[in-house]
Structure 1
Amino acid sequence: MSETIQQPDPVMAEIGRGMELGQRGERDAARRVFAGVWDGLSEDGDPFHICALAHSMADVQDDPREELVWDLRALEAADLVSDERARRAGVASPVAAFYPSLHLNLGDVYRRLGEWDLAREHLARGLDAVGTLGDDGYGQLIRGGLDRLAGRVAERVDDRPEGPGPSSA
């Protein structure tokens, strides 16, 4: 019996390169990589690619309004990703496990924009979806982020910087 060897996905590889740059603090370089990927995607492109790219691009925005645009694109695209498509990309969990992180990011950016009702709405949606996460490091990271966001929203902590700045979730 022969096994099909999955070829590397060049779009995801480039997104991964941008993520590495962002994690090293090279936010401008990461934005350039992500913008190049975005320019290469068609408007009706693969929702998995769009979701991954938008989710990552949001993380390297300096202006929370721009971050919000990308976070909303990621959420919209996630709604179009099938579990089968995610599985083909090597994602072991169902697409439902994307939502706690997507809603965490939206809740936090709405909080930083002073949009408290929307922050609470996305916090609630993230908490509703948290059961889809595994009990691993990633699941703990997202749960911790949701817990911190809940505290900030409950206390209406407005730690927005004077100018644009990175996410604090």
Structure 2
Amino acid sequence: MSDSTDAASEPDEVMAAIVAAMQLATTDAAAARAQLDALWERVGAGGDALHRCTIGHYRADLCDDAAEALTWDIRALDAAHALTDVRAQAHHSSLSVEGFYPSLHLNLADNYRRLGSVDAAHHHLAEARSRLSVLTNLAYRQVVSDGVEHVTAALEAGSTERLPGH
């Protein structure tokens, strides 16, 4: 997920509000959750797929409860299925929808692991792992790959505890 827009792109107020909420999350998670919830209400379940995907992805990160995070991550994945590269690239030319899937599946795997749904966790880990090659930013690919390995290790250890950074 990108935090910025191309200079040639028209400003996207919703994406700017999402970025602002995530910046706020570093100091006030409750206020950030409230802002993202308000944006979700504004965009609506049938609204712009990029907005829904981004809100869902980031909103899930602010959930302590794995079931609640799972709900938001499923919303993000559903929105990604409706998203096109044309729409994503209207926000930032470097984006491709395929590049969203490794992280989305990683987050779902972690949620399912925390909920004790081992088969679903394995399925989403396999999806994340199989899609890593689409990530052209090598540093970001490494972050997601490391996440896959951490969730895999926690799953193999039978842990349902929240992992640092997830």
TM-score calculated relative to the size of structure 1? 0.88
SS at match of 2:31: helix
Q: Tell me the C-alpha RMSD between the 2 structures.
A: 1.8
SS at match of 2:108: helix
Q: Distance in 2 between matches of 1:75 and 1:91?
A: 21
Q: Distance in 2 between matches of 1:133 and 1:32?
A: 31
After superposition, the Cα gap between the structure-2 partners of 1:119 and 1:77, relative to the gap in structure 1 and judged at 3 Å, is same
Q: Distance in 2 between matches of 1:142 and 1:112?
A: 18
Higher mean displacement: 4-13 or 86-95: 4-13
After superposition, the Cα gap between the structure-2 partners of 1:91 and 1:139, relative to the gap in structure 1 and judged at 3 Å, is farther
Higher mean displacement: 50-59 or 36-45: 36-45
> Larger radius of gyration, structure 1 or 2?
1
Higher mean displacement: 69-78 or 131-140: 131-140
SS at match of 1:79: helix
Aligned residue number for residue 145 of structure 1: 147
Q: Distance in 1 between matches of 2:55 and 2:137?
A: 25
Given that 1:109 and 1:167 are in contact with CA atoms closer than 8 Å, whether structure 2 keeps it comes out as: no
Given residue 98 of structure 2, which amino acid in structure 1 is its aligned partner? Answer: A
**1:42-81 → structure 2 map (5 Å cutoff):** 42-81=44-83
SS at match of 2:44: coil
Per-residue CA distance 1:1-57 (angstroms, 9 max, x = gap): xxx9422100000000111122x1421011011011011113321111100000010
The percentage of aligned residue pairs carrying the same residue is: 37
Given that 1:108 and 1:167 are in contact with CA atoms closer than 8 Å, whether structure 2 keeps it comes out as: no
TM-score calculated relative to the size of structure 2? 0.89
Per-residue CA distance 1:54-109 (angstroms, 9 max, x = gap): 00100001211111100000000000100111110115132101000000000001
Q: 1:16 aligns with which of 3, 13, 19?
A: 19
Give the gaps of 5 or more residues in structure 1: 161-165
Q: Distance in 1 between matches of 2:98 and 2:115?
A: 26
Q: How many residues align?
A: 160
CA shift, 1:113, in A, is 0.8
